[in-house]
């Protein structure tokens, strides 16, 4: 039995949120697992990436573990989601594992230390890959303040108005409120900024998402992250509902990429997230029009060697590099 297999067995006997916290602390003992493969490099608005795979928001909510996470081999890291003031999140239990589907259901509700502590956390570390901060809030004013204060500290910003566990965000997705928020953000924009959108449920539902994306694109923002978790009923959570993540979402991720790519300029970037766990998944997302991909749930189930495996798979798949170059600009 490998060391990771043993650690995973023990961690999966612990309540998921506590196990995650322990796992983050254990990462500091890992050596550098980065894969140096020039053929996987990509040019994006975040700069030249070692590869197109980012760590999705929510894995490091506080921005305390970026140096450790960088060693796993990600091309960039998304930290947060952070809000102006500290948020405790929802009551526990608020994460459920579904090992059969290799999926998670969470009702976290943005637990975070608040903007000032988040800035102290990320500023105390030296990270060589781009760091994107995921931000949110319940008012336009709070989001704008977050946006202004964080931009000098990070490589980019991801605006999260799509968490299924924070109902008040719906108000900011209303067309008039969203345009007011996005317009004000555009006036303060100094770094690449992405909109994280709701997952694809069906064509009629996604029309509203596409309207927001088009407004976002027209205001000059660089891209969108597609998509957030899918709201489902889950009686084992204290809230009774939560956001599903993992492989069951991948077909919806593909639909979301395809739909967004059809309504935005080719220069508009799409960060694909939702169910990606292999090199083949990465290629499928890029072929549909994604610029980069992001991973979260697969890291929980496959551990710190996941990126090494996926990057090796991608390196082999590069026997037909034109498949990837078309959208990801991999050189």
* Closest by CA position to 50, among listed 156, 129, 154: 129
Cis peptide before 222 (omega within 30 of 0): no
Q: How far apart are CA 129 and CA 158, in angstroms?
A: 16
- Decide: helix, strand or coil at residue 211: helix
Rounded CA gap, 241 and 257, in Å?
26
CA dist 123 and 66 (Å) reads 10
What sign for the dihedral angle of Cα 256, 257, 261, 262?
negative
The distance from CA 131 to its chain's CA centroid, rounded to whole angstroms, is: 11
* Dihedral sign of CA atoms 165, 139, 270, 292 in order: negative
Cα dihedral sign, 195-78-87-151: negative
- Which member of 163, 217, 227, 277 is catalytic? 163
Catalytic (active site) residue 163: yes
Element holding 272 (H helix, E strand): strand 269-273
As annotated, the active-site residues are 163
């Amino acid at each position: 039995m490998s060391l990771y297999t043993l650690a995973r067995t023990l961690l999966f006997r612990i309540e998921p949120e506590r196990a995650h916290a322990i796992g983050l602390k254990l990462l500091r003992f890992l050596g550098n697992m980065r894969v140096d493969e020039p053929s996987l490099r990509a040019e994006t608005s975040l700069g030249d990436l070692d590869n197109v795979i980012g760590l999705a928001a929510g894995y490091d909510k506080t921005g305390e573990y970026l140096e450790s996470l960088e060693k796993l081999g990600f091309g960039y890291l998304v930290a947060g989601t952070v809000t102006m003031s500290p948020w405790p999140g929802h009551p526990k239990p608020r994460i459920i594992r579904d090992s059969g589907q290799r999926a998670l259901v969470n009702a976290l509700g943005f637990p975070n230390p608040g903007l000032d502590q988040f800035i102290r956390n990320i500023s105390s570390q030296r990270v060589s890959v781009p760091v994107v901060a995921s931000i949110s809030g319940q008012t336009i004013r709070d989001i704008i303040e977050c946006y202004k204060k964080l931009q000098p500290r990070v490589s980019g910003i991801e605006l999260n108005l799509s968490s299924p566990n924070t109902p008040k965000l719906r108000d900011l997705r209303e067309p008039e409120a969203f345009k007011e928020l996005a317009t004000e953000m555009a006036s303060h924009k100094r770094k690449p900024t992405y909109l994280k959108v709701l997952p694809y449920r069906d064509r009629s539902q996604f029309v509203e998402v596409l309207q927001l994306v088009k407004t976002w694109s027209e205001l000059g923002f660089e891209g969108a992250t597609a998509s957030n978790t899918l709201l489902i009923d889950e009686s084992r959570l204290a809230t009774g509902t939560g956001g599903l993540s993992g492989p069951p979402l991948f077909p919806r991720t593909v639909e979301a990429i395809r739909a967004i790519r059809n309504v935005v300029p080719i220069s508009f970037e799409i960060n694909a997230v939702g169910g990606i766990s292999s090199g083949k998944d990465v290629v499928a997302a890029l072929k549909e029009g994604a610029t980069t991909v992001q991973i979260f749930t697969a890291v929980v189930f496959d551990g710190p060697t996941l990126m090494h495996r996926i990057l090796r798979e991608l390196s082999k798949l590069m026997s037909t590099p034109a498949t990837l170059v078309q959208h990801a600009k991999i050189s």
